Structure 1
Amino acid sequence: MKFSESLKKNKDFQIVYKKGRSLANKCLVMYVLKNEIGKNRLGISVSKKVGNSVVRHHLTRLVRESYRLSEEHFRCGYDIVVIVRTGAKDKVYHDIESALIHLGKLHKIYIQDEKRS
């Protein structure tokens, strides 16, 4: 991730949950909060309700890779927390990627090039 860092501390997650704006679709919930550092920080949360550790880790990797490959389209300067819902359990990479982009567009932090439309 060139333009982003990971959000790791529980305190940072709690700030985004309390002060951020959330939107959801069937697979993901995305909380977004503007930060002051000029970089995006991405946090990913997968509950034990979703599945065992193998399933949770797989979904985390899918979300992180989806974000990494489309990160140049996301506006900079935001803390983003993505929560994986149980509906994402059986989804493939392209479903997770489209869900992530969909939420980015709803939050107005995803900018798509006119050439790629």
Structure 2
Amino acid sequence: MQKKCLVRKNRDYCKVYNKGISLANRHMVIFTRKNNLNIKRFGFSVSKKMGKAVRRNFIRRRFKEISRLNNNWFLNGYDYIFIARKGIDEISYKSLENSMENLAYRISKQMTRKNL
């Protein structure tokens, strides 16, 4: 994933958390907000409660790869932040992909309805 497609600054994360909309399922939470750019940007957050750095990076790499391969699920001009929930490291890659697709579909539908 290219660096320009990542949310990197803390203030950008805070904007998305405070002024964006969110949806959740059993494995993750997604926050999104319009970014006034013409690109989609992604941020990934995995808590220290998930385990040591190796386990957290493993989860983060899965998130990045799924969002890179399935870039068409997400709308241009929005920031997306994914937060992992407990137990996400125990599910298969395909289950995680299906879960992410479901959330992306639901949040895109909600954003177009509200015109955020």
What does residue 14 of structure 1 align with? 14
Stretches of structure 2 that go unaligned for 5 or more consecutive residues are 110-116
* Identical-residue share of aligned pairs (%): 36
What does residue 44 of structure 1 align with? 44
Letter in 2 for 1:52: K
What does residue 26 of structure 2 align with? 26
Instruction: State the shift of 1:5 in Å.
Output: 0.7
What does residue 59 of structure 2 align with? 59
Q: Do the aligned partners of 1:51 and 1:89 also contact (CA within 8 Å) in 2?
A: no
TM-score, normalization: structure 1?
A: 0.86
Stretches of structure 1 that go unaligned for 5 or more consecutive residues are 110-117
Instruction: State the shift of 1:44 in Å.
Output: 0.1
Letter in 1 for 2:11: K
Once the two structures are overlaid, the 10-residue window that deviates more, 66-75 or 55-64, is 66-75
What does residue 114 of structure 1 align with? none
Q: For this pair of structures, how many residues does the alignment match?
A: 108
Higher share of residues assigned helix: 2
Q: What does the per-residue CA deviation read over 1:38-87, in whole Å, with 9 as the maximum and x for residues that have no partner?
A: 10110000001111111100000001000011002321110000001112
TM-score, normalization: structure 2?
A: 0.87
Give the secondary-structure state (helix, strand or coil) at the position aligned to 1:15. Answer: helix
CA RMSD of aligned residues (A): 1.4
Q: Do the aligned partners of 1:39 and 1:78 also contact (CA within 8 Å) in 2?
A: yes
Q: What does the per-residue CA deviation read over 1:20-46, in whole Å, with 9 as the maximum and x for residues that have no partner?
A: 101001111000101111101100000
1:105 matches 2:105 = yes
Give the secondary-structure state (helix, strand or coil) at the position aligned to 1:86. Answer: coil
Runs of 4+ in 1 over 6 A off after TM superposition: none
